[in-house]
Structures are given as structure tokens and as C-alpha cells.
Amino acid sequence: MIKFLDLHAINQQHREEFIDAFTRVLDSGWFLMGKELQQFEQQFAAYCGTKEAIGVANGLDALSLIIRAYKEMGIFQDGDEILVPSNTFIASILAISANNLTPVLIEPILEDYNIDPALIEEKITSKTKAILVVHLYGQLADMSAITVLSKRHNLKLIEDAAQAHGAALDGKKAGGWGDAAAFSFYPGKNLGALADAGAVTTSDANLAQVIRALLNYGSHEKYKNLYKGTNSRLDEINAAMLAIKLKHLDEETASRRAVANRYLSEINNPKIVLPRVKNPMAHVWHLFVIRCAQRDELQTYLQNHHIQSLIHYPIPPHKQEAYKEWGNLSFPISEKIHEEVLSLPISQVLREEEVHEVIALINKF
């Protein structure tokens, strides 16, 4: 069986380093808000090219806390609108609704699955306060165009970088383009913890300060509460694990790129549409997503030959029961993507012969 993602093998690579770090934290007797977190935050901010990184409990909280902080700062109000791609993972949209703001869905570009900048301006109203871009599947959205639009209309630019750790264009990394960015370190992400974890990156010191209070019950100072906050902390053990994995991230991304390059150059079945890559450094291949009109048959065929594949994602957000108010809306590009996409195995531990087998089977389909 060729696994879609072998999390066991991925983490076993760092076994000795993990055990040393775990022992260090255990022996310190300090488990939350200590120096492991502080060090990881500094290293991750330096990696992303931002002044600050703030560890939080997960990627959804990272997104939600950015929006919540802008509300506390008086920049967003209930009922304001945030533009977001119509084909994203549901968490990008949940973070907006959870804060009583309105998600306004925008179609992606079919070839690269990211938000279409040409469709943004027509959706801007007097209530629009931000663009939430998603670097879907690990590829940076068209950040030069989107940055221009956000400046022209005085909108906050928020990045959902949960799938794009290390993706870069013109030397600027995911997380460093917007006013703030949200990362997830869910175990299956390119930089994955051994539990739920996430971070916000920003160079806005005020925003960072508000988020640091919000994630800690709304408090900067023990037992003094400025906001009706929440508890969304990243623990010391996982901060230590993440610091270890961050050191290896670029080399692991290079391995993912090598797999992707083989898929791109060797899959030649006319039934398969390969993903479009605008710039090799701007894609970190969290997922390698192809399109096929007979997607379900292809998935069954691969399964019968012991190759796992997954669908990211089977149901578009506007067709979800949770958003039944959008049931009558139509997003044809998004719907086509959801009907045709299939994600192939890709990771830093996928072996050459496994890549070869996937390619050979797909070419015979």
C-alpha cells in the first residue's frame, strides 16, 4: 500500500531529537507559556520574515483571533464583509462567520485553484473590510495583484497560510505578504506538530499585542482582563517539536518539489489535468492536486492498485448544510473543481519507486 501521507515515517525521522526535547521540557517542569514557545515564535517569525509570530492552539484559532483582534481594535464591526475564495477549506470561512462578519465568496482561477484577482473589485462594497486569501494546496495566491487591490481599497489583507509554510515569491514568504497571516501546524501540514497547533504572523505590533491578550483569556496581566478573551495556547512540548521540524522544513520542501516535478514531467495521460505552477519557489506542494473528468473511477482504480488518494475537497462551502443560506448561489468553477480534483500521494518520505508506481498506473488509466 502506498499511503497518501505516512505520518509515522515523517515523524520517526526526528525521533532522537524529539525525545531529547521532550525530556528537556519534562525535566524543566514548565509546560505552558515558557521559553520553548518564545524561541519557536522568534524562529518562525524570522523564517517568515515578520516581526512577530504568536503561537496559538490551531489554525482556525489563528484565523479567528486575527479577525477578533481587528474587532477589538475598532477596525472591523459586526456585519462587515470579508472576501474569501469559494473553494477553500471550510475553516477560512468559519473564522469569518464565528466573528459575526459576512464571508463573500469569490471564484478561483481554474488552472491554479487560487482566488481570481480579476473578480475581486466587483465584489467590494462599503462594508468590505478585508481580503482573506488562501494559498491553496501550498501555492501562493497572486499576491502582487492582491496587494495592489487591498491598498487601493484600504482593505486589510489576511493570509490563510495553513498549507503554505515556506512558499515564497520574490524572496517574500507566505505569512509575510499580508497585514497578518494564520498558520496551522496540524500533524498533516507541511510543518506539523504532534498535536493541534497554529500561529499568527504579523509585523503589526499593536495587532500582536491584542492577539496575545485574546489567546490568554483577554489578559496581558494576570487576573486583569481587557477583553472577553479565550484560551488558545501552544504548549511547550509542541513548541519544542516544531522548532526541531522547522530546521528541516526547507530540505523537506525540496523533497516534495522533487516528487512534484516527476509527476509534472512524467504523467502524460490526456485524461489528467496537471496543476499549473507559476513559479517553482511559490509552491510547497502541501497537496499535489490533479483534475480528471472520471475522478471517482480514477480513485477506485488507484485504490484497487493499493494507492491511497484523497479529495480536497468533495463539497464546496456554499453546498454545505452549515451554510444552507448559500444553497441557491452558483459558483461553477468551484463546483467543477470539487467534482474533478484528486490529491496524489506526496511527502518528504515518499520513495522514488513509489512515485514511479503512481506515475505508471496513472498513465495506464
Ligand X SMILES: *Cc1c(COP(=O)(O)O)cnc(C)c1O
User: Please, which residues have CB within 8 angstroms of residue 208's CB and are 6 or more apart in sequence?
Assistant: 51, 52, 54, 200, 202
Task: Please state the closest distance from residue 256 (CB atom) to ligand X, in A.
Answer: 16
What is each CA distance from 283 to 140, 166, 260, 345, in whole angstroms? 6, 9, 10, 16
142's grid cell: 497572486
Task: Please state the closest distance from residue 58 (CB atom) to ligand X, in A.
Answer: 4
Nearest residue to ligand X by CB is: 59
Q: Which stretches of the chain bind ligand X, using CB under 6 A?
A: 58-60, 88-89, 91-92, 134, 160, 162-163, 184, 186, 196, 198
Nearer to ligand X, 186 or 263 (CB): 186
Nearer to ligand X, 141 or 355 (CB): 141
Task: Please state the closest distance from residue 61 (CB atom) to ligand X, in A.
Answer: 7
| Residue that is written with C-alpha cell 499576491 in the block | 143
Would strands 198-202 and 52-56 be described as parallel, antiparallel, or unpaired? antiparallel
Q: SS in 3 state form for 223-248?
A: CEECCCCCECCCEHHHHHHHHHHHHH
> Mind giving me the DSSP string for 77-123?
-TT-EEEEETTS-HHHHHHHHTTT-EEEEEPBPTTT-SB-GGGTGGG
Give helix 35-48 / helix 236-266 axis angle, nearest 10°: 30
**Burial class, 268, CB count within 10 angstroms (exposed 0-12 / middle 13-18 / buried 19+):** exposed
218's grid cell: 483577554
Nearer to ligand X, 96 or 267 (CB): 96
**Burial class, 163, CB count within 10 angstroms (exposed 0-12 / middle 13-18 / buried 19+):** buried
Instruction: Compute, in degrees rounded to 10, the torsion defined by CA atoms 250, 255, 258, 264.
Output: -90
- 189 is a catalytic site residue: yes
User: Please, which residues have CB within 8 angstroms of residue 263's CB and are 6 or more apart in sequence?
Assistant: 274, 288, 344, 346, 355, 358, 359
Nearer to ligand X, 342 or 362 (CB): 342
Q: Which of 189, 224, 247, 336 is catalytic?
A: 189
What is each CA distance from 292 to 40, 297, 306, in whole angstroms? 41, 9, 19
- Positions annotated as catalytic residues are 189
